[in-house]
Amino acid sequence: MKKFILFLLFISLAAAGMAQKPDSTKNTSSADSLFNSMNAVNKKENVVVFESPRLILTQTNETVKKKNLNVIFVHRFGDFAGSSGGGKYFYGFDDIADVYIALQYGISDNLNIEIGRNTLPLVGGLVDLELKYALIHQTSDNSSPVAITLIGQTGVRTYNSFATFGDRVSYFGQVVFASKLSHRFSIEVAPSIVQNNSPVPDLPGSPEQIFSVSAAARLKVTKLLSVVCDYAHPFGSYRDAVGFSDPLGFGIQAVTGGHVFTINITNARAASEINYLSNTTSDYGRGQYRIGFTISRMFDFTHKETFNPKR
């Protein structure tokens, strides 16, 4: 797995020099070429790298436009196989690993605020408040081949026993580097840090601070259908010794008007970054993977057309 993440990191860094403009080659006359060169500034546009602000595990660089509301619903079923799955539990459909519901609102085109709630009971559930800021956009003229987005999140565990309120609080920070390498293929790498005021899980030696690197990719199959995958590697000798697993997911993403729907398979039980980076122990080799889905529904309060990324 470590070789896998290093390989994706290398590919993403190389993307800075290889990122391509969206397909726009057309036959033009000399007069058209002159006119286009005189109006080059007007043709500079921001590139839509991914089709939604969230994939399976990771968030993308994309933000919600000003006065738009994105309603996010993430559902993970129980284990597909293994001792807690199989036909006895209808391959996980009789169980719920986690449910996450969030509202993401565009304060501006570049700045979003999000509030969400996930139900994962093993670590006390979580209510989170997030700010997401698009610092740099990838541009169609290739003057900026990489998009950079900043994410900051605070989470509070709403139940289980804690000595103080501060022990319930966790923090998450991430920098997303993303690039659309071609009309069909996009990739991102995102270093992040989690700070749990109380160790998760609450075991001797469990660290309060976890550094990780995530990677994600999208391959467009048709105009409205894509294959997506993402992966995260939290670093730490404690995690290697105790037997934590790296979160890994694969899925199919479909765009249908104002909806973006992703059906996926992942070993992570939790939907929240704070939880799955802190406490993923499920392993594909033991059948501890699950079917899940993510739905994003965009509402436009400017009375303009709904979220419709360029393809």
* pLDDT tens for each residue of 162-190: 788 888 899 999 999 999 999 999 999 99
- Mean pLDDT in residue range 129-141: 95
Q: How many other CB atoms sit within 10 Å of the CB of residue 299?
A: 15
- Give the residue, 196 or 309, on which the prediction is more confident: 196
Residue 28 has pLDDT above 90, yes or no: no
- Mean pLDDT in residue range 30-44: 49
Residue bearing tokens 């939790």: 270
- Dihedral sign of CA atoms 84, 90, 95, 98 in order: positive
Residue bearing tokens 């470590």: 2
- Mean pLDDT in residue range 219-247: 88
What pLDDT was estimated at residue 124? 63
- Mean pLDDT in residue range 224-246: 86
- Mean pLDDT in residue range 239-250: 83
What pTM was computed for the model? 0.80
Could you give the percent of the chain with pLDDT greater than 70?
A: 81
Could you give the percent of the chain with pLDDT greater than 90?
A: 51
Residue bearing tokens 């996450």: 100
What pLDDT was estimated at residue 186? 96
What pLDDT was estimated at residue 98? 86
Per-residue pLDDT band at 27 (split at 50, 70, 90): low
Burial 106-126 (b: 16+ CB within 10 A, else e): beeebbbebebbbebeebbbb
Per-residue pLDDT band at 43 (split at 50, 70, 90): low
CB 49 within 8 A of CB 179: yes
Concatenating the DSSP letter of every residue in 72-104 gives EEEEEE--SSSTT-SGGGGGGTT-EEEEEEEEE
Cβ-in-10-Å burial (0-12, 13-18, 19+) of 84 comes to: middle
- Mean pLDDT in residue range 254-277: 90
- Give the residue, 311 or 79, on which the prediction is more confident: 79
Delimit the domains of the chain by residue range: 2-18+55-300
Per-residue pLDDT band at 31 (split at 50, 70, 90): very low
CATH number of the domain located at residue range(s) 2-18+55-300 in this protein: 2.40.160.40
Highest mean pLDDT among 13-17, 84-88, 228-232: 228-232
Residue 149 has pLDDT above 80, yes or no: yes
Q: Mean pLDDT over all residues of the chain? A: 82
Helix locations, the chain, DSSP H: 2-18, 30-38, 237-242, 273-278
CB 200 within 8 A of CB 206: yes
CB 190 within 8 A of CB 146: no
What pLDDT was estimated at residue 233? 93
* Cα–Cα distance list, 239 to 64, 245, 247, 281, 298 (Å): 35, 8, 13, 9, 38
Residue bearing tokens 């081949």: 145
- DSSP annotation of 222 reads S
